[in-house]
């Protein structure tokens, strides 16, 4: 269940477009949606969503005009333990048969502390929509690989309460506390690539 929140994330699945980044394509091998949540109140369980699509429009001259629209395949949740993943897909958590996708649609961008950017948007999980805020680290400076292709990246992070989305399943422990924490920490890593014109690469 924790994983679903990840989606929010919102945002790491993106394909950037826009006048400043025309020609840039989403690099799936270097982009990911990750999350972690407390387990038994003693450690953290980490996971990913393996399938996602979306679009990010980045305005280099005015980042506050940037937008994001992302869709995550809820059934692609992956915690590396099949039995646990099946439980998370069940009606007790994400209920992926009834709610197959997790979506994030931005509503605005503002400057945060320390010169960072924050993107607000509507996150829909388990059929419930809530406003969330993502802290953006990036975009990075453009870098070129040995073949002359250009790369740019960034990351978005957020913390969400799963109960806000109707994900309330839990078990009380004999030693006190509960099996699953309420807060989910989501991180979305993004990398875009623009191929060098033919004949210019190394």
**Tens of pLDDT, residues 40-66:** 777 889 999 999 887 777 666 777 888
The alpha-helical segments, DSSP class H, found in 39-176 are 82-89
The answer for 80, left when phi > 0, alpha when psi is -120 to 50, beta otherwise, is left
Position 202 in a domain? no
Position 131 in a domain? yes
Domain interval for residue 169: 2-194
176 or 189, higher pLDDT:
189
CA distances to 4, 175, 177, 179 from 171, in Å: 19, 12, 9, 5
Number of H helices, E strands in the chain: 2, 13
24 or 186, higher pLDDT:
186
**Tens of pLDDT, residues 67-81:** 888 899 999 999 999
Full-model pTM: 0.78
**Per the structure, how many domains does the chain have?**
1
CATH code, 92: 2.40.128.110
Position 201 in a domain? no
The answer for 184, left when phi > 0, alpha when psi is -120 to 50, beta otherwise, is beta
């Amino acid at each position: 269940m924790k994983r679903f929140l990840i989606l929010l994330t919102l945002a790491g699945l993106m394909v950037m477009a826009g006048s400043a980044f025309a020609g840039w394509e989403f690099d799936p091998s270097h982009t990911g949606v990750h999350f972690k949540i407390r387990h038994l109140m003693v450690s953290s369980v980490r996971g990913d969503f393996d399938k996602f699509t979306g679009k990010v429009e980045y305005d280099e001259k005015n980042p506050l005009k940037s937008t994001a629209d992302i869709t995550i395949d809820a059934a692609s949740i992956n915690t590396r333990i099949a039995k646990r993943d099946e439980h998370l897909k069940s009606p007790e958590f994400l209920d992926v048969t009834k709610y197959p996708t997790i979506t994030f649609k931005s509503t605005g961008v503002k400057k945060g502390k320390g010169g960072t950017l924050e993107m607000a948007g509507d996150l829909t999980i388990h059929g419930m929509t809530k406003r969330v805020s993502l802290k953006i680290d990036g975009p990075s400076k453009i870098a070129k690989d040995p073949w002359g292709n250009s790369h740019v990246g960034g990351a978005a992070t957020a913390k969400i309460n799963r109960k806000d989305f109707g994900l309330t399943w839990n078990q009380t422990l004999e030693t006190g506390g509960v099996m699953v924490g309420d807060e989910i920490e989501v991180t979305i890593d993004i990398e875009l690539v623009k191929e060098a014109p033919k004949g210019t690469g190394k």
